Chain A
Amino acid sequence: MGSMGSGGAVERNNVVLRGRADGPVVMLAHGFGCDQNLWRLVAPGLERDFRVVLFDHVGAGHSDLSAWDPQRYATLDGYADDILRICAELDLRQVVLVGHSVSAMIGVLAVTREPERFAGLVLLCPSPRYVDDAGYRGGFSQADIDELLDSLDSNYLGWSAAMAPVIMGNPERPELGEELANSFCRTDPLIARAFARTTFLSDNRSDLPHVTVPTLVLQCSRDAIAPPEVGEFVRAQIPGSRLVTLAATGHCPQLSAPDATLAAIASFAAVSAR
């Protein structure tokens, strides 16, 4: 095992615990692009009944950037390992793990490695492979992924300039507080590039049949990243899983349709954690 910096997993991943201390555990894992703020419209609704565990992947949000290691995070296993470390350190049991976007597959890897720790798995807008393959449509070509890396580079200049600590004073939107503009989705461009590569070039199709915990697949009716047939593919590959399609547009239903997303997660978690 390599050294993992001075602090434990809780500090490294900026873990935030909310909600009922004695409630069943719901752990929310954000995807590529932003940080745990993406759950801001869903987490409060879960706090009444559940122990809600939020965190930032290493490299995102307020995680310990010095813990980022290109080798460890070159595959999704490094991220899955972080989830297991958080669970071990906080002694979380019977966890319902909710993984959005790339974290859906990170979740698949985590529950496969330690099934006894998890009571359920929610895959929100999952895709086991983004690039098209023989007999499989992921929705993107290799050239498309290169284009994304290019987009990240193009917005690199803007990012570096915006690194200056401009404090937003916005009386109409106090919830922004002293948060920096765009900070929810900003990270070191090199890390963003590496995470994009790991995310969009991974292929986890063969991991799906090994999931043994109860699984709910949640997809949007119109998602530019994960087409409907991908959700159906995931459901067919995970034994006993259920697919629910939310009447929502985009890749982030927890923002665009928070109530429906919350309801689906809460009812599944309530049954699974029983």
Chain B
Amino acid sequence: MSDTGPGPAPGPHGVPAAHAAFTSLLEDNAEDLYENAPCGYLSTLLDGQIAKINGTLLSWLGYTRDELVGHRYFADLLTAGGRLYHETHFAPLLNMQGEIGGVALELRAADGTRLPVLVNSVVKTTATGQPLLIRTTIFDARDRRAYERELLRARQEADHDRERLQRLVTTLQRSLLPPALPEVPGLDAAAHYHIASADEVGGDFYDLFALGGERWGLFLGDVCGKGASAAAATSLIRYTLRAAAVYDADPAAVLGTLNTVMHEQYERDGRNFCTAVFGFLSPAGGGFTVTLAAGGHPAPLLIRADGTAGYLAMPTGPLIGVWDDVTFAATTVTLNPGDTLLLYTDGITEARTGAPHARYGEEALRDLAASLAPASAASAVAAVIALLDRLGAGVEDDTAVLALGVPPQAGTP
């Protein structure tokens, strides 16, 4: 392009470019603009009868003007499903609002092929507001609809995957807990597991199992973390404790074995330590003797036959798996008729109560136990379930409870 100084650049025939643009605008007359617009134009009577249609839409549909104008209705151009949608949503909305936009429909061409479109309609009215006719513009939406279908499919798949994950989590969680507590003659046992998240396996665990010779083992605890690694650790803990219980009669030694096994793993990956209470149970007199040891775990609650309740006086003990040289201490407690021992994980005491920074706390749990006392194992667990319900979303972590109660003797209140 030669340098002609300031002013409009010349067009191909020496005419200034702005002038050329103006000339071509004159060529683009309204009639041509309507007929060959890059979208479909359709005018219908209020009942949907086709009154006017542009060339673009006719070419999309493969009809002649005479086949449609005065003979067919807008709904006739739609697929059967689209017609239902038109009658139940589109037409009533257009009537009530005077306009409607961005509705996805499919047109059916003369040869039966389908054309995905986006449709906008307005009702043209007289100066006094009387509806006269409906003007509709139709946009080819093949690419867009293909993309939207992908989005829809992805969403449906995501929903499906989530459902599958939740099923898997529930199944896995169930496999880590005893399917039912064993029958212990002279003792009532009850347990509950509260799952805080349907998407992730929690790390709480409990068990009660027979050892033969009128002895039973029991444990309850909490693995640090959630998800697959917590599930794997829980599995390791269960089998280690069950095996150790066969060879050792001292709960402190059983926890020592668990610590050795857990620490080996912890050394490798620095994950998955746990807290736990482990105990042995055997009948004595009219009740049971329980020897317990704890590792980093809050002491169980004793709900007594005399109507009082309190935490067992026993050392919390070190976390399990973090250090290699630790010792645990055993405590012995007698469960008399009417007494119930409640083991729990801190999901309940750490639950938010609604007030800022407020947690439910150990004191509140003890007060609740005292208000229940005396209580059977089943009613103590039922009270905890009711409490979890009341705290609702405030319970942010999984919670496990295990209650062991000696039924009151006949004749005692």
Binding site for B on A (CB under 8 A): 31-34, 37-38, 40, 101, 140-141, 143-158, 173, 176, 181-182, 184-185, 200, 222-225, 249-252, 255-256
Contacts and interface: CB of A to CB of B under 8 A. Distances in A.
B148 interface: yes
22 contacts: A33-B88, A33-B92, A38-B92, A140-B80, A144-B79, A145-B81, A146-B81, A147-B84, A151-B82, A152-B85, A158-B104, A173-B98, A181-B97, A182-B93, A182-B97, A184-B92, A184-B96, A224-B75, A224-B87, A250-B48, A255-B95, A256-B91
Interface in B77-124: 79-89, 91-93, 95-98, 100, 102-106, 116
A74 B319 CA distance: 53
Contacts of A200: 84
Contacts of A32: 88
B249 interface: no
B47 interface: yes
B81 A147 contact: yes
Given A33-B88, A149-B81, A249-B47, A184 B104 contact: no
Interface of B: 46-48, 73, 75, 79-89, 91-93, 95-98, 100, 102-106, 116, 145, 148, 151-152
B104 A34 contact: no
A185 B87 CA distance: 12
A154 B104 contact: yes
Contacts of A249: 47-48, 73
Given A33-B89, A157-B152, A147 B79 contact: yes
Nearest to B49: A249
A32 B88 CA distance: 7
Nearest to B83: A224
A144 B80 contact: yes
Nearest to B46: A256
B87 A184 contact: no
A1 B251 CA distance: 51
Contact of B93 (A148, A185, A224): A185
A157 B93 contact: no
If over half of B's interface residues share one DSSP class (helix, strand or loop), that class is named, otherwise mixed; here it is helix
B92 A147 contact: no
Nearest to A255: B95
A149 B80 CA distance: 11
A62 to B, nearest CB: 15
B87 A176 contact: no
Given A154-B145, A176-B97, A147 B80 contact: yes
Given A157-B152, A158-B104, A224-B75, A151 B95 contact: no
Given A154-B104, A155-B89, A256-B47, 8 more contacts: A145-B81, A148-B84, A156-B152, A173-B97, A182-B97, A223-B87, A224-B86, A251-B88
A184 B104 CA distance: 18
A205 B103 CA distance: 33
Nearest to A153: B152
Contacts of A222: 47
Contacts of A157: 104, 148, 151-152
Contact of A250 (B91, B96, B151): B91
Contacts of B79: 144, 147
Contacts of B48: 249-250
A158 B103 contact: yes
Contacts of A146: 81
A260 to B, nearest CB: 14
A150 B114 CA distance: 14
A34 B47 contact: no
A261 to B, nearest CB: 13
Contacts of B86: 224
A101 B105 CA distance: 22
Contacts of B104: 151, 154-155, 157-158
Contacts of B102: 158
A252 B95 contact: yes
A2 B45 CA distance: 49
Contacts of B75: 224
B357 to A, nearest CB: 30
A57 B54 CA distance: 41
Contacts of A37: 96
Given A158-B104, A224-B87, A34 B93 contact: yes
A252 B93 contact: no
Given A146-B81, A251-B87, A154 B148 contact: yes
A182 B100 contact: yes
Contacts of A141: 80
Contacts of A153: 152
Residue of A153, A157, A222 most packed against chain B (CB within 10 A): A157
Contacts of A255: 91-92, 95-96
B132 to A, nearest CB: 15
A151 B105 CA distance: 7
A185 B80 CA distance: 20
Nearest to A155: B104
A252 B91 contact: yes
A256 B75 CA distance: 15
B103 A155 contact: yes
B341 to A, nearest CB: 36
A158 to B, nearest CB: 5
A207 B383 CA distance: 49
A176 B100 CA distance: 13
Most chain B C-beta atoms within 10 Å of own C-beta, residue among A144, A154, A157 = A154
Contacts of B151: 157
Contacts of B92: 33-34, 38, 184-185, 252, 255
A251 B91 CA distance: 9
